[in-house]
Amino acid sequence: MTIVFNHVVTSETQLREVIGSPSRRALRKQVAQLDEFSRAFIARSPFLVLSSCDAEGNMDVSPKGDPPGFVRVLDDHTLAIPDRLGNRRADTMKNLIQNPKVALLFLIPGKKETLRVSGTAQIVRDEWVRGPMAIGGKLPDHAIVVHVTEAFFHCTKCVIRSRLWDSQAWPSLAGLPSLAEALVAQGKLEESLEQVQALLEEDARQRLY
């Protein structure tokens, strides 16, 4: 059955009739470089999400995480993200080969504001970039280098509403399917649930870095 919507916004004029216009403060908060405020936030962030799309506009969003400061700021307009061992799908990397545009969202646990950064990206293997990103003596195979065109802080409202950092408000995980259960069902795998769970645990032990 096709869902039909009767009131669809199709123009910015329609949108503005409801939400109004942004304040001067909101319009002027973005900057075109990584200033001292952005650098300080990135240095404390252990987690980001990276959005990209292919040549046809098919979107992808990928989480990236490491100890705080894992993203290197190379200069006022350039940062580098280590690409650690994963499942070899390489969705982000394949997208970047087709379309270099990216957007990043940096988070710091306990911090209500987030940092949004956008620009264009390259996949590089220069050792001078990857070398300082080594953990346990293991270099990332690649680094995603982002040439920043815009950066700005996102306000606290969504984090406050979601109570994201308030552990007392976190939903119960009881009854939530495990990753192994999802993989077996969605992929119609021949392996048993126990086998897939063991493979995931072994992968975490052997290939974390």
Q: What's the CATH fold of domain 25-162?
A: Pnp Oxidase; Chain A (2.30.110)
**Contact between residue 48 and residue 105 where contact means Cβ atoms under 8 Å apart:** yes
Confidence of residue 174 (pLDDT cuts 50, 70, 90): very high
Query: pTM score, two decimals?
Result: 0.93
CATH 2.30.110.10 domain extents, the chain: 25-162
Task: Inform me whether the pLDDT recorded for 206 exceeds 90.
Answer: no
Cα angle 70-111-63, degrees, rounded to a multiple of 5: 45
pLDDT at 207: 81
Q: Listing from the earlier edge strand, what are the strands of the sheet with 101-107?
A: 59-65, 47-53, 101-107, 114-124, 142-154, 78-83, 72-75
| Burial class of 93 by CB neighbour count within 10 A (0 to 12, 13 to 18, 19+) | middle
123-168 pLDDT, tens digit per residue, is 999 999 999 999 989 999 999 999 999 999 999 999 999 999 999 9
Give the closest residue to 75 by CA, choosing from 140, 139, 142, 146.
Answer: 146
